[in-house]
Amino acid sequence: MSTRRYSRQSSRAFFERTWIYIGHESQVPRAGDFFATRIGRHPVVLVRGDDGETRVFFNRCLHKGAQVVADGCGKATKALRCPYHGWIYGFDGALRSIPARAGYDGGIVRAGADDFALRQVAATGNYRGFIFARAAGNGPSLADWLGPLVGSLDNFVDRAPAGEVEVAGGVLRYEHACNWKFFVENTLDALHPMVVHQSAARAAREIAAARAPAAKTLEFELQALAPFVGSYTFYDNMGARVMCNGHADLGGAASIHSNYQEDPAYLGAMTGAYGEQRTREILALSRNNSLAYPSLMFKAPVQLIRVVRPLAVDRTLIETWHFRLKGAPDSMLARTLSYSTLVNSSAGMVGPDDHQIYRRLQSGLATSEVEWVEMSRYADAGEVSADGSVSVKGTSDAMFRGQFAAWRALMRAE
């Protein structure tokens, strides 16, 4: 395969063609706050402007091309200054000033010149605080692209008594030795937990069973781990939803999170904000994972997201970000962080077992003797809703079929 062909077909090229999750607006609350990350191979930076707007720029100086700000969160006081020759940009991306500008007299380089403003990505969008961007090309608006998945994002935010969430509690960065697709697929795979996570879940179940029956409340970690070895029927019945552009949910009627004992103070705050009926509706919708394909997995019932950043064909960075529900007691964030330490950490009791399977997939699929993988489970068994989403059983392969259909469509588009 030629380098050019590889480049066009690479994992990261795919990310450069569609809407990618960048960050949450709470990461850049004030003018000059920025968050620098990647869209595929592009370094990009989310910046809050003096006008309050958030913009996403390619993080590349228009002079010699140096990355203007370092990756991660930061705060600029007056302007963005390239660390190489000191070109200075406003928070709106405009080139403000150039050192030793006399040398450019009569030429094209001057403060305010459009060609030398930080280049904005093709499109940005914000849905209830979640900021997405598309690096290049034409395509649907963010709302059209998300389609019925907005309902799942709504459930994430509606779980806050004050109707807003904010990033809190730090981030986990876990580098995986595999292609991004394995991770994305696995978050919606309901046939693996009882096999792959049997070791941790069984240990938790045995400890829980040994507790005196009088123990009315189990530690959160036992509540969290035990459902991983739920039955196939349990996972089938929780249901799944397949949507446009590869988006999907696993869980709805139930999830591995739906039997948590909720803090009465949280239920009180929710009831106070929404009333009893609406609170019941919000909390009854319980999804294991929702996927805004390909870059964002979110877990509304435990207020965390996983963000996918492909690094190479066989290397993927997974970031786990955590959210505070505004108006909720502190116990809710503490629970989110306990869950993440237990499950998503590179030293956790769940994530490394998944990662080992991704290594096996990366290795096993290196053979060209078998040119397909099997994904026919519950073929054509789905119920189509008015919004175009298809409801299927939790262990259906329909979610994977949807992902690959979306991948193929986008990679074939010119």
Partner 1 sequence: MMATNHPQSAAAATYFPLSQFLYREAALLDARDWDAWGKLFAPDGIYWVPATRGQTDSVNHVSLVNDNALLREIRLGRLKNEDTSSLQGMPNSSHLVSNIILVAIDATAGHYTLQSRFVVAQYASWGTRTFQGSYFHERVRDADGELKIALKRVDLVDVDGPQGDLLSIL
When asked if residue 254 is in the footprint of partner 1 (CB under 8 A), the reply is: no
Taking the complex as a whole, the smallest distance from the CB of residue 211 to partner 1 amounts, in Å, to: 10
Taking the complex as a whole, the smallest distance from the CB of residue 412 to partner 1 amounts, in Å, to: 32
**What does the DSSP 8-state code read for residue 85?**
T
Return the residue of 73, 357, 361, 375 that touches partner 1, per CB under 8 A: 357
When asked if residue 365 is in the footprint of partner 1 (CB under 8 A), the reply is: no
When asked if residue 194 is in the footprint of partner 1 (CB under 8 A), the reply is: no
Q: Which positions ≥6 away from 206 have C-beta within 8 Å? A: none
Tell me the torsion sign for CA atoms 20, 22, 23, 29.
negative
Q: Which stretch binds partner 1 (CB under 8 A): 40-48, 217-225, 245-253, 278-286?
A: 217-225
When asked if residue 171 is in the footprint of partner 1 (CB under 8 A), the reply is: yes
- Kindly state the number of chain residues that form the binding site for partner 1, as judged by CB under 8 A: 44
CA distance 40 to 316: 11
Taking the complex as a whole, the smallest distance from the CB of residue 56 to partner 1 amounts, in Å, to: 22
My answer on whether omega of the bond before 193 falls inside 30° of 0, hence cis, is: no
When asked if residue 131 is in the footprint of partner 1 (CB under 8 A), the reply is: no
Return the residue of 121, 178, 204, 406 that touches partner 1, per CB under 8 A: 204
Q: Which stretch binds partner 1 (CB under 8 A): 120-128, 253-261, 289-297, 346-354?
A: 346-354
Per the CB < 8 A criterion, the answer to whether 129 and 25 are in contact is: yes
When asked if residue 330 is in the footprint of partner 1 (CB under 8 A), the reply is: yes
- 208 half-sphere exposure, CB direction, 13 A CA radius: 18
When asked if residue 101 is in the footprint of partner 1 (CB under 8 A), the reply is: no
Taking the complex as a whole, the smallest distance from the CB of residue 322 to partner 1 amounts, in Å, to: 6
Residue number, 206 or 276, with CB nearest to partner 1: 206
Q: Which stretch binds partner 1 (CB under 8 A): 89-97, 104-112, 281-289, 314-322?
A: 314-322
CB atoms within 10 A of CB 109: 16
When asked if residue 263 is in the footprint of partner 1 (CB under 8 A), the reply is: no
Q: Which positions ≥6 away from 289 have C-beta within 8 Å? A: 187, 188, 249, 250, 251, 297, 298, 299
CA distance 37 to 309: 9
Taking the complex as a whole, the smallest distance from the CB of residue 108 to partner 1 amounts, in Å, to: 40
Return the residue of 62, 98, 178, 225 that touches partner 1, per CB under 8 A: 225
Residue number, 305 or 410, with CB nearest to partner 1: 305
When asked if residue 302 is in the footprint of partner 1 (CB under 8 A), the reply is: no
Residue number, 26 or 237, with CB nearest to partner 1: 26
End-to-end CA distance of the chain: 19
When asked if residue 313 is in the footprint of partner 1 (CB under 8 A), the reply is: no
Helices (H) and strands (E) in the chain, counts: 14, 19
When asked if residue 26 is in the footprint of partner 1 (CB under 8 A), the reply is: no
The amino acid present at 400, given as its one-letter code, is: F
Q: Which positions ≥6 away from 311 have C-beta within 8 Å? A: 12, 175, 317
Q: Which stretch binds partner 1 (CB under 8 A): 112-120, 202-210, 369-377, 386-394?
A: 202-210
Taking the complex as a whole, the smallest distance from the CB of residue 353 to partner 1 amounts, in Å, to: 4
Residue number, 125 or 351, with CB nearest to partner 1: 351
The amino acid present at 327, given as its one-letter code, is: G
Show the CA angle centred on residue 19, arms to residues 18 and 20, nearest 5°.
110
Q: Which positions ≥6 away from 214 have C-beta within 8 Å? A: none
CA distance 226 to 220: 10
Residue with tokens 């196939």: 232
CA distance 412 to 8: 10
Per the CB < 8 A criterion, the answer to whether 95 and 113 are in contact is: yes
When asked if residue 133 is in the footprint of partner 1 (CB under 8 A), the reply is: no
Cα 374 to Cα 242, 370, 391, 397: the distances in Å are 18, 11, 21, 9
Q: Which stretch binds partner 1 (CB under 8 A): 73-81, 147-155, 274-282, 328-336?
A: 328-336
Return the residue of 221, 249, 314, 397 that touches partner 1, per CB under 8 A: 221
When asked if residue 337 is in the footprint of partner 1 (CB under 8 A), the reply is: yes
Q: Which residues form the interface with partner 1 (CB under 8 A)? A: 168-175, 177, 196, 198-200, 202-204, 206-207, 219, 221-222, 225, 317, 320, 322, 330, 333-334, 337-338, 340-342, 345-349, 352-353, 355-357, 359
